[in-house]
Amino acid sequence: HLYAFIDSMCLKCIVELGIPDIIHNHGQPITLPELVSILQIPPAKVSQVQSLMRYLEHNGFFERVRIHEKEAYALTAASELLVKSCELSLAPMIEFVLDPTLSNSFHQLKKWVYEKDLTLFDISLGSHLWDFLNKNPALNKSFNEAMASDSQMMNLALRDCNWVFQGLEFIVDVGGGTGTTAKIICEAFPNLKCIVFDRPQVIENLSGSNNLTYVGGDMFKSIPKADVIL
């Protein structure tokens, strides 16, 4: 466990370098010389990039294959989800969760266990996460993109479990972010009316559709009425 953080940091590194996108755009497994050439890696660092690729291969993010007698790296099911240009991409989630502003918070766990009423983020950021995001538009944007990317997975769930929503008239997605989940549900069930309820700062400037409405507020005070709450 001592070096477990290296797994996360290597994952962050390949997303920052855009390696899954490079392999995806290459259209076939990529050799190390091709990869370092696209990345414009200085010759002195090529073997370190090879170590990075081997490490990520070990963790299931790349597969080492042979193509035209040469060793090359292919995407796996896990790294296909890291291609930023694909609709189903969890890259924004990695960028947000591993942003140092948030990940550094976990150095405060000891302090947190002794604090009766404070959350980890209260301690590390000096305020509730939501207040902090309100004051940091760039991180707030990254958060909303991360949530939206995660919600895209709803597409996969709907494909197999759409019976869950059948026969419903009104649903409200409490803490529904910018409405990615709700939009997917509304498209699949045009007769279903859906409200996305979130902090006013999140839903401001968003416009709904025929069956989708955005409502701002505080879920701890009240939430809109509906048949089902997500």
Ligand X SMILES: C[S@@+](CC[C@H](N)C(=O)[O-])C[C@H]1O[C@@H](n2cnc3c(N)ncnc32)[C@H](O)[C@@H]1O
| Interaction site with ligand X (CB under 6 A) | 130, 147-148, 151, 175-178, 180-181, 198-199, 202, 218-220
Output 71 or 204, the one with its CB closest to ligand X.
204
131: CB partners within 8 A, 6+ apart: none
- Which residues on neighbouring strands pair with residue 74, listed in sequence order? 63
DSSP letter, residue 1: -
Output 130 or 170, the one with its CB closest to ligand X.
130
Output 181 or 213, the one with its CB closest to ligand X.
181
User: Shortest approach of ligand X to residue 121 CB, angstroms?
Assistant: 12
Q: Rounded to the nearest 5 degrees, what angle is found at the Cα of 13, between the Cα atoms of 90 and 34?
A: 100
User: Shortest approach of ligand X to residue 148 CB, angstroms?
Assistant: 5
User: Shortest approach of ligand X to residue 221 CB, angstroms?
Assistant: 8
CA distance 102 to 93: 12
Q: Rounded to the nearest 5 degrees, what angle is found at the Cα of 221, between the Cα atoms of 213 and 120?
A: 100
CA distance 78 to 59: 10
User: Shortest approach of ligand X to residue 128 CB, angstroms?
Assistant: 8
Residue type, 108: Q
User: Shortest approach of ligand X to residue 140 CB, angstroms?
Assistant: 9
CA distance 213 to 191: 14
Output 45 or 128, the one with its CB closest to ligand X.
128
Output 81 or 147, the one with its CB closest to ligand X.
147
Point out the residue whose Cβ comes nearest to ligand X: 177
User: Shortest approach of ligand X to residue 78 CB, angstroms?
Assistant: 21
Output 46 or 174, the one with its CB closest to ligand X.
174
In 98-179, which residue ranges form alpha helices assigned H by DSSP? 100-103, 109-114, 120-125, 129-135, 137-151, 154-161
